[in-house]
Every structure is written in structure tokens, then in C-alpha cells.
Amino acid sequence: MKFMITVFACLVLWSVMLVSFSDLFTHQLLSAIVNVDSKEAKDKLLRWILTADFDEDSCLSRHQSSLYRKPSPHKPSEYLISKLRSYEILHRRCGPGTRAYKEATKNLIGHDDENYANRSVGECRYIVWVAAFGLGNRILTLASVFLHALLTGRVVLVDQSKDISDLFCEPFPGTSWLLPHDFPLMGQIGRYNMGYSRCYGTMLRNHAINSTSVPPHLYLHILHDSRDVDKIWLCPARDGPDHKVPWLIVKANVYFVPSLWFNPNFHTELIKLFPQKETVFYHLAGYLFHPTNQVWGMVTRSYDAYLSRADQTLGIQVRVFTRRAGYVQHVMDQIVACTQREKLLPELATPVINASRSKKLNAVLVTSLHPEYSNNLKNMYWERPTSTGDIVQVYQPSGERFQQTDKKLHDQKALAEIYLLSLTDNIVISAGSTCGYVAHSLGGLKPWLLYRPVSGRVPDPPCVRAVSMEPCYITSPSHGCENKKRIDLATVFPFVRHCEDTRHDGIKLFDDTKYEL
């Protein structure tokens, strides 16, 4: 009897242990599944910088781009994520089709008296981005305008007269960022310039604006050739009413983000948003710019066919800024000198390489209006072996010969090539090229920058490795907020320095504050 009781007790204990182990195993399995799902969701949403409130099929690139990139070491701040969620709520409340938008546009018509804004400003204020210049300029300026909107509580609306909807998906859930075609000023904004009576810089120069005289809208002219006075709006002018004006209209062709750090009203907020200062464009672009399905198809087909099987990928972006902007031999020589000097591509070998050695495949993606650069590089590695025995394959998606801004298919190809460049392991770009800036910053890459040749000669050294992955503000203002005399803005903050490729004119953001040219 005792034996039977002992056996029964052992069976009960064993059953309990099995159940416990089973529960533990089930719990661990479920936890693993949840963790995997959570990790996949986090990666798909770029570490939660994106919201899941979208139909994935309507914009495949929004959730597929992470599949084509290596895991990013650049984590967005929780404050930035919170700010983006708050902005999405604001945009849904104030965007096109809402009562607030209808009231704002209704009041915009026929009100030129100076006390307009004092009477009719509601909860919603707007900043309208006007498309100007080429695709690279547009992407950089739209990111800049959106950041200004985040900092000032405005709703950004984009001019859709240049087919932006054929290039990018809507970035904000449940609403649209497209400026409606029936916007009251639609027929005028494309013609605004520094001579326009509501140009902020011109009004400041003429002393025609103050805190008690607020117009219904202001035009902000932020082009590479604009006067410094037109850029003072980036600073908190004592008599400047730009924070009260319901509608700001912006035309720009430069990445003016670095200037925002000089505004004391924005400085603390920017530090909270971007503890890593050189990730500003990287995070904003990851949030805003998702190619349409047609463009994304071009990207994925090219990547799968030419880049996916390579051991190492290299992007080379070529832009020639001379009057004779076709194929230039010294630029070709500079590309070869840079890529071989920096060990991005193997040198050519005179003797035959032992065929038994293991070979690596180097895929080179070349983007240029002119196919001669890729053709010459391809022939060079086809006619002679490499010193390492590695194989070099060169691919160029298109060679349009001439820039055809505002032609739908041309711009779609250009955007696809920018994204393909951003997916490479390393990248070489031409100095001062906005498309090159977008490509390397979008991919979180620190590029090798080809110095601009002087007098038709290859510079020595031919290129420089960027310390920061931020784009360059090519023609920055020459004075600060409180200074009327010219100063070097690269000397004000340790994290704002001259760009590596412009040396004297441009500025950009750096995390490596010890960097000096």
C-alpha cells in the first residue's frame, strides 16, 4: 500500500513538473514569437518613426525599404517620435478638406488690411512649400520646411503642380499633404520672387512690417542667390510677425536646416528632437519620403538584378557643373583615382591572377546623365584582371544626357536612382550635388566627396571622406541673428562646421565636434 502511494505521489509530482515545463516552454515560445514580431514591426516602421495606420499595398516602399537596408545604428529619439504623432493629429485637424482649412482659405481671400491676422487667426497656421529647381533641391527643401513646421506648430502643404504625387506617397495618415488646386493663391505662388510686395525680406528692408501690422500671408525667398536679409526669418526678429501670420509661402532651393539651430527659440527643441545632430535629414527623410509603387518597382527590380548578389556594393554619382557638362576625361580620371586610392575598388593587375583564388563580386552602381563614365569603368575592369582577383561589375540604370526636370518619367527615374544609391555599402558623390547629398543622407552613409576640379586637372587628393552624413547648406547666410556685420557661422557652434567639399561657403551639422578641415 505504501508502495502504491509512493508511486502515485511520484506520478502526480512528475505531472506537475511536466505541466510546469510545458507552461514555461509555451511562455518562452510565445515570448520569442512576440519578440520576433515586435522586432520585425520595429524594423518595418524604422524603429517606430513611422505609424502603422496605412494600407501597406498602397505604398509598398513605406514598409519594404527596411528589407533592403542593413540595420541602422541611428535610433530616433522618443521625443521626435512623440512630436511626429502629435503633428499627425494636427494635420488631420487642419489639413485639406477640414473646416479649419476651409475657414483659413476663405478668410485669406480679399483681406489685405494690416490687422487681418489679429482678427482671424485660429488654431491652424500653415506653411506652403513651392516646388522649385531640380529633384535633389526639392527633397532637401521640403525636409527643411517640414522641420520648421514641427518647430512652429504649422501644417505643411506641398505644391503639387510639379507631379510630386507621382514620386512620393502621402506621408501623413488619414489626410493629405497636397495643397488643393483651388487654393486661392495657386495661380500666383509660382511667380513670387524678391520683388513681391509680401516678400518678408523686402518688407523688412523697407520697414513695412512690425508686430502690430500683420499681413494675411508672407512669402519667404530662400534661394542660393537671395539677400541675407531674406534669411533673417530664421531668427527671432524683435518686430517680426512671421509667427502670427496664418500663411507662410516658401520657395527654396537650399537645405537650410543648419540655420534653424541659430534661432534661440528653436535651439533647445532641436537638441531634444535630434540628440545625434547629423541624423536630422536621415530621420526626416525616412519619415517623409516613400516612393510610389511605380518608382519602388524600378528600385527593387534593379536592386534584385544587379546589387543583391554582390559581396560589396559601391555607388558612384557623377555630376559635372561646367558649361560643357558632358563627358569630361579628367573627371573620369578623378573617379578612378579616388576609388582606387581609398580601396573602394581594386587596382588593375599586369600578370594573370591565379584562378584558384576565391573571388568576391563588387557591384558598382553609376548614376550620371552621361553613360560614358560607366562604360569606361566597365571596359577597364573587363579588359584587365584586378590585383585582388575580385570581379567588378558595373551597372548604370539610365543615361538621359540632359536634365529634364518636371518630366514625369525622367523625375521618377532620377528618384529611383537616388534610392538605389542609398542602398549601397559605400558611396562616392560629386561635390555640391544635391542629388548626391540626398542619396548618402537617406542611406545613413558618410560618402567620399569628389572635389571640384580646377582648371581641368584632377585635384590632389581627388576626394575626401565626409565626417558627417548630413547634407550641406551650400550657400549659408553670412551673418547671425544679432549681427549686422558678416561673420563665419561655422565658428559659432562646435557642431556647425564648414562642409568638407565646399570648405568656405557651406555649413553642415556634425556630431564629431573635434573635426577640422
How far apart CA 385 and CA 350 sit, in angstroms, is 8
Residue 87 has pLDDT above 80, yes or no: yes
Residue 241: band (very low, low, confident or very high) from pLDDT cuts 50, 70, 90: low
Average pLDDT of the residues of the chain:
83
> Three cell numbers at 456?
581641368
What pLDDT was estimated at residue 513?
67
Would you state the pLDDT for residue 35?
Answer: 43
Other C-beta atoms lying within 10 Å of the C-beta of residue 21:
10
Whether the per-residue pLDDT at 497 is higher than 50: the answer is yes
d(CA 45, CA 50): 5
> How many Å apart are CA 499 and CA 451, to the nearest integer?
12
Note the pLDDT of residue 28.
Answer: 43
Q: Is 343 left (phi over 0), alpha (psi -120 to 50) or beta?
A: left
- Select the highest-mean-pLDDT range: 158-162, 314-318, 489-493: 314-318
pLDDT of 251 > 50? The answer is yes
Whose grid coordinates read 506641398?
158
Using a pLDDT cut of 70, give the percent of the chain over it: 77
**pLDDT number for residue 90:** 97
What mean pLDDT comes out for the span 347-359? 69
pLDDT of residue 239: 43
pLDDT value at 365 more than 70? yes
Nearest to 449 by CA among 499, 496, 507, 501: 501
The tens digit of pLDDT for each residue in 100-142 reads: 999 899 877 655 555 554 454 567 999 999 988 899 999 999 9
- Given a cut of 50, whether residue 5 has pLDDT beyond it is no
Whether the pLDDT of residue 22 is over 50: the answer is no
Q: Tell how strand 463-465 and strand 448-450 pair up.
A: antiparallel
pTM (2 d.p.)? 0.87
Residues 412-471: tens digit of each pLDDT:
999 999 999 999 999 999 999 999 999 999 999 999 999 988 888 888 999 999 999 999
Residue 235 has pLDDT above 90, yes or no: no
Look at the block and give the residue holding cell 548618402: 440
Q: Are 120 and 107 in contact (CB under 8 A)?
A: yes
Reduced to 3 states, what is the DSSP secondary structure of residue 178?
strand
pLDDT digits (tens, 9 = 90+) for 48-75: 688 887 888 999 999 899 899 988 889 9
Full set of structural domains in the chain with CATH: 78-288 (no CATH), 293-466 (3.40.50.11350)
pLDDT bucket at 146, cuts 50 / 70 / 90: very high
**What pLDDT score was predicted for residue 461?**
93
Coil/strand/helix, residue 131:
coil
Residue 304 grid cell = 534584385
Q: Exposed/middle/buried for 379, CB within 10 Å: 0-12, 13-18, 19+?
A: exposed
Confidence of residue 36 (pLDDT cuts 50, 70, 90): very low
Q: For residue 233, what pLDDT band results from cuts at 50, 70 and 90?
A: low
Read off the pLDDT of each residue in 299-322 and give the average, rounded to a whole number: 94
Backbone phi and psi for residue 312, each to the nearest 5 degrees, phi listed first: -145, 135
* Residue whose C-alpha is closest to residue 167's, from 477, 417, 384: 417
* CB 474, CB 489: distance < 8 Å: no
CB 320 within 8 A of CB 326: yes
- The per-residue pLDDT for 50 is 86
334 three-state secondary structure = helix
- List, in sequence order, every residue forming a beta bridge with 366; answer none if it has no partner: 316
